[in-house]
Amino acid sequence: MGGVNTPIDLTAAFAAFDQAWSPRLAARVNDYDIRLARFAGEHVWHVHNDTDEFFLVIAGEIEIALRDPDERTVVLPQGSLFVVPRGTYHKPSSAGGAQVLLVEPTGTLSVGDDHDEVPAHVDATTGHALELTS
């Protein structure tokens, strides 16, 4: 995992994997993971009861459907960031595919504390190691 002495090129990092909804652990800041994820299609409705979730769109565009309490959707083009407050059900998606940087407490499950049935294309994980070649 990247640290102070190991810069990470985001272009190379995203080129190192292609599986959507399967975040890679790029770095750790205190007790938080910096995760890189590819979004394609729809994720699953889920909620993180005890933590906010930070999204920064590196490439592409995403939508995040929210139930807060009424249902609405926010659109995040490239270069945009958004924080989903803890306790808010949400469902990320990307029709055209996107590269996203996420910040979450270490060990946070990608499908939250409560979620709809997890479809086969969604990886329920706390993150995978980012493996870069030299």
pLDDT at 69: 85
Answer whether residue 81 is part of any domain: yes
Question: Does residue 60 contact residue 97 with C-beta atoms inside 8 Å?
Answer: yes
DSSP state letters, 74-85: EEEETT-EEEEP
Is there a domain that residue 26 lies in?
Answer: no
Q: Give pLDDT, residue 1.
A: 56
- Does residue 113 form part of some domain? no
Amino acid occupying residue 49: N
Model pLDDT for residues 71-114, shown as the tens digit of each residue: 999 999 999 999 999 999 999 999 999 999 999 999 999 999 99
In a domain, 61, yes or no: yes
Distance CA 38, CA 4 (A): 24
The answer to whether residue 19 sits within a structural domain is: no
Q: What is the residue range of 96's domain? A: 42-103
Choice between 133 and 113, residue whose per-residue pLDDT is larger: 113
> Does 56 map to a domain?
yes
CATH of the domain at 65: 2.60.120.10
What is the count of structural domains for the chain?
Answer: 1
Is 82 inside any structural domain?
yes
Q: What is the pLDDT of residue 68?
A: 87
Residues 102-131 have a mean pLDDT of 94
Residues 6+ apart with CB under 8 A from 71: 65
Q: What predicted TM-score, i.e. pTM, was given to this entire model?
A: 0.93
For residue 134, being part of any structural domain is answered with no
Residue 3 has pLDDT above 60, yes or no: no
